[in-house]
Structure 1
């Protein structure tokens, strides 16, 4: 028995933030000293590396669980199911609900419980819980749904990835330009045909790598040092990802029995265009193969890095034909992969 995605949807906030909107930011070094370059040069270099030109921020009245609810509603409609038949709601996020203008994370009750209430699901046997797994959270949620369904504990799961990273960034850190908000949701059920999940890989590297992403103080030394923001050791993450992600993808593909020539699309976490391109290049080099044209759909240019929401949002856009020069067909082999805080890495092979 396999599991398949029978419903997919995303919620992309309408509030668009362009690179030029960072023109008046005061970017600082880690020690609080001026960065020493004009913002125009900083932004130009940023776009050249990440590929990001725009990103989306949630409206002030919405929280992460609101975005998740919007996406979940659409996924349920897409799957044409009764929400009362959902056995598990698995909500992947990192920072809970952070209301606009506040600095405190709210995770009580769980965000999954909040979505269940918003969906008005009365069935108490629909179990709702949160999953903290960094950016690979949605993929890990799919793997957990796979385990529940294969074990007989569930027949149908709702897996969500949602985040409002714009509310946990340090405005004085250049990395703040990477992050964005959004949500993706999926309905997972048992597959009765050839489609579905074929193999998977998941790992946590927690020795030297555990603190590559962390919560740290602002680069502005005049601000409260006890107020924390998302921080990262970008170079270390880049080097880590280039080594571990291609290896995980290869292990996953080899376990599936699918030939690399049969992989039609690779849906990878949208964190940094240059890093993603390097990962794909190294993956194909492990097989001594050239990278096929149009193998990697991208949404990062317009949507930025919305963490757990990037992969399901990318899949939703691909399915709906919303990515230029990209399309998939019934029976196509897809490779999903992600890397993020933990440091966590995961992947799965999927027949569409």
Structure 2
């Protein structure tokens, strides 16, 4: 029995936030000191490194569970299954539901339970739980769904990845320009067809790396000390990711028994264009090869970094022909890989 992705869907928030909107921002460094160079220079350098030109924010009335539900509805429709046949709903996120204008995350009940409620599923044997695994949460959810299916515990699982990071950023921190909102979902099913998940790997690095992404005080020192925002050590994360992710991808591909020449696409967490380019280059360098043209689809330029939502959103858009020059066909071998808070890394090799 194979584990196949039988349906996908995503929700792209309607509110666009272009880089120019940050021209009036008052960015300060970690010590609360203003930068010497003008904000326009900071924005330009940010764009050159990350590739982000604009990002999407969820509208005020929608929360993380709401946009997750909208993506889930599309995935279920695409899969063509009865939602009552779902055995598991796994919802990957990082901060729960954060009401617009507030900072406190709400995870009671779990976001997976909220999605099950919104889907109006009556089947009590459909178990709903949340996945907290940083940006690699959706990939880890798929790996867990695969384990349930291979053990005979499930036939159909719904894996959702959604975050509203725009509501947990420090507006005085220039890193706030990276983060965005979004939701993606996939139905993972037992299948007798060829293809499916061939190999997977996961790892947590917590010996010195655990707090590279964390919650911390605003860089503006005269704000409330009781308020926390998402913070990151960008340079350390870059060094960690470009070193460890290519190794994990290589290990996973070798475990699959698939030759690298068969790989058609790499769906990498949309964290930072420069970092993703470096990861893929180092991955192919481990095999003594140059990067094939068009191997890595990207949507970070217009969507920003929406954490757990980046990979399922990207995959859905490619499947639907919504990214120019990118497509996947039946039989194609693709690699999914992610890195994020924990510090966690994971990957799986999949034949479409």
Shared fold per TM-score greater than 0.5:
yes
Q: Considering only aligned residues, what root-mean-square deviation do their CA atoms show, in Å?
A: 0.5
SS at match of 1:267: strand
Query: What residue is the counterpart of 2:342 in the other structure?
Result: 342
Query: What residue is the counterpart of 1:26 in the other structure?
Result: 26
Query: What residue is the counterpart of 2:6 in the other structure?
Result: 6
CA shift at 1:22, angstroms? 0.4
SS at match of 1:158: strand
Q: What is the CA–CA distance in structure 2 between the aligned matches of 1:248 and 1:4, rounded to whole Å?
A: 22
Structure 1, residues 265-287: CA drift from partner, whole Å, max 9, x if none? 00000000000000000000000
CA shift at 1:171, angstroms? 0.2
Structure 1 unmatched runs, 5+: none
Q: What is the CA–CA distance in structure 2 between the aligned matches of 1:166 and 1:139, rounded to whole Å?
A: 22
Query: What residue is the counterpart of 2:171 in the other structure?
Result: 171
Query: What residue is the counterpart of 1:100 in the other structure?
Result: 100
Which 10-residue stretch deviates more, 187-196 or 16-25?
A: 187-196
SS at match of 1:243: helix
Summarize the alignment of residues 143-292 of structure 1 with structure 2, pairs less than 5 Å apart.
143-292=143-292
Query: What residue is the counterpart of 2:46 in the other structure?
Result: 46
Structure 1, residues 143-191: CA drift from partner, whole Å, max 9, x if none? 0000111111111100000000000000000000000000000000012
Q: What is the CA–CA distance in structure 1 between the aligned matches of 2:5 and 2:114, rounded to whole Å?
A: 23
Q: What is the CA–CA distance in structure 1 between the aligned matches of 2:195 and 2:225, rounded to whole Å?
A: 51
Q: What is the CA–CA distance in structure 2 between the aligned matches of 1:207 and 1:67, rounded to whole Å?
A: 35
Query: What residue is the counterpart of 1:110 in the other structure?
Result: 110
Q: What is the CA–CA distance in structure 1 between the aligned matches of 2:71 and 2:308, rounded to whole Å?
A: 13
Q: Normalising by structure 2, report the TM-score.
A: 0.99
SS at match of 1:100: coil
SS at match of 2:131: strand
Number of equivalent positions = 352
Structure 1, residues 321-344: CA drift from partner, whole Å, max 9, x if none? 011111111101100000000000
Q: What is the CA–CA distance in structure 2 between the aligned matches of 1:58 and 1:220, rounded to whole Å?
A: 25
CA shift at 1:71, angstroms? 0.3
CA shift at 1:61, angstroms? 0.4
Structure 1, residues 68-122: CA drift from partner, whole Å, max 9, x if none? 0000001000001111100000000000000001121100000000000000001
Q: What is the CA–CA distance in structure 1 between the aligned matches of 2:103 and 2:49, rounded to whole Å?
A: 30
Q: What is the CA–CA distance in structure 1 between the aligned matches of 2:104 and 2:287, rounded to whole Å?
A: 47
CA shift at 1:37, angstroms? 1.3
Q: What is the CA–CA distance in structure 2 between the aligned matches of 1:194 and 1:206, rounded to whole Å?
A: 37
Q: Normalising by structure 1, report the TM-score.
A: 0.99
Q: What is the CA–CA distance in structure 2 between the aligned matches of 1:142 and 1:197, rounded to whole Å?
A: 9
SS at match of 2:230: strand
Q: What is the CA–CA distance in structure 2 between the aligned matches of 1:45 and 1:140, rounded to whole Å?
A: 33
Query: What residue is the counterpart of 2:72 in the other structure?
Result: 72
Structure 2 unmatched runs, 5+: none
Q: What is the CA–CA distance in structure 2 between the aligned matches of 1:147 and 1:177, rounded to whole Å?
A: 36
